[in-house]
Amino acid sequence: MSAIKDSRNINFNIKHLRKGDPLPPFNGKLRVYNMRYCPYAQRTILALNAKQIDYEVVNIDLIDKPEWLTTKSAFAKVPAIEIAEDVTIYESLVTVEYLDEVYPKRPLLPQDPLKKALDKIIVEASAPIQSLFIKILKFSDTVNEEHVAAYHKALDFIQEQLKNRGTVFLDGSEPGYADYMIWPWFERLRAFAHDERVRLEPSKYSLLLEYIDNMLKDSAVSQYLIPLEILAKFHEAYTKKERPNYELLNECLKSF
């Protein structure tokens, strides 16, 4: 798997800034406005890691947003990247496509226009996986057979793509755009392995499960993984309708 020697020392596990916290001054380094547990922001982080771009993270408290957030991200969402002072780009796929264009090392999207289109189609096809995840997390009672069927159809599609391509990852011998853009949800579904609606049946999804194992070992992914117990604890807050604790990892790491 990926044996990239990574010399960047990115601190992902810093305090999530909230209302009243000042905006850290821009110091010239590419900045990601992030939330440690956000799957959409994770897409940007994965692309930056894979392309070994140096960057800093500013974590945002999404429940109690800092006043200055809309000056960086017009829709007050994460991710947003600040590429020069006050020059920002937001919307996860837009940030990744921008980075892929501007940083040519380790291209994530295929060069061939048709292959590129097919990669993007795979990401679109993963939409039912994203929507089932958020429903199970926040509105578990509203999950019906249709949602679960659409989820399985999406998994079948992705598995079929893997099978047809015959490569370790969707994008070849190393992960690429399609792999990284769908990964955040595969990572989170592991925390719901007990839930029958979500669980990947080994008899049905052996190729996909093998793929997930391979992705876990990829360095862009592994350096940003959240331990399953922490992820489960973070998710618990949503099911209990409590305020999520963004500082779980920071608290956990401090205790060592």
Partner 1 sequence: MVSPKINFNTKHLGKGDPLPPWSGKLRVYNMRLCPFAQRTILTLNAKQIDYEVINIDLVNKPEWLPTKSIFGKVPTIEVEDGVCICESLIIAEYLEEVYPEIPLISKDPIKKAYEKIIIEASEPIFVMYFKVMRTPDTINDETLMSYHKALTFFEGQLRNRGTRFLGGEKPGFADYMIWPWFERIQSMNDEKLKIKSAKFDLLVAYIENMYKDPAVSQYLLPKDVMDKLHAEYKTGKFEVQSIEDLL
Which residues are tagged catalytic?
38
Question: Minimum distance from CB of 103 to partner 1 (Å)?
Answer: 10
- Reference 37, options 60, 21, 67; nearest CA is 60
Q: Which is nearer to partner 1, 14 or 150 (CB)?
A: 150
Binders of partner 1 among 109-148, rule CB under 8 A? 113-114, 116-118, 120-121, 124-125
Question: Minimum distance from CB of 123 to partner 1 (Å)?
Answer: 9
User: Locate tokens 């916290």: which residue?
Assistant: 21
Among 23, 63, 94, 149, binds partner 1 (CB under 8 A): 94
How many residues bind partner 1 (CB under 8 A)? The answer is 24
Both tokens assigned to 243: 């305020």
Bridge partners, 92 (sequence order) = none
Binders of partner 1 among 10-49, rule CB under 8 A? none
Q: Which amino acid is at 27?
A: N
Q: Which is nearer to partner 1, 13 or 88 (CB)?
A: 88
Q: Are 116 and 141 in contact (CB under 8 A)?
A: no
Q: Does 89 bind partner 1 (CB under 8 A)?
A: yes
CA distance 39 to 20: 26
Question: Minimum distance from CB of 200 to partner 1 (Å)?
Answer: 21
**Of 91-99, 130-138, 198-206, 245-253, which segment contacts partner 1 by CB under 8 A?**
91-99
Q: Which is nearer to partner 1, 96 or 168 (CB)?
A: 96
CA distance 73 to 138: 24
Question: Minimum distance from CB of 208 to partner 1 (Å)?
Answer: 18
Q: Does 157 bind partner 1 (CB under 8 A)?
A: yes
**Of 7-15, 49-57, 108-116, 217-225, which segment contacts partner 1 by CB under 8 A?**
108-116
Both tokens assigned to 208: 């996909």
Q: DSSP letters along 12-33, please?
A: ---PPB-TTPPPPPP-SS-EEE
**Of 52-60, 89-97, 183-191, 193-201, which segment contacts partner 1 by CB under 8 A?**
89-97
Neighbours of 245 (CB within 10 A): 16
How big is the chain by its Cα radius of gyration, in Å?
18
Q: What are phi and psi of 137, to 5 degrees?
A: -70, -50
β-pair type (31-34, 80-84): antiparallel
Q: Which is nearer to partner 1, 116 or 243 (CB)?
A: 116
- Reference 151, options 121, 127, 187; nearest CA is 127
Q: What residues make contact with partner 1 under the rule CB under 8 A?
A: 74-75, 83, 87, 89-91, 93-95, 97-98, 101-102, 113-114, 116-118, 120-121, 124-125, 157
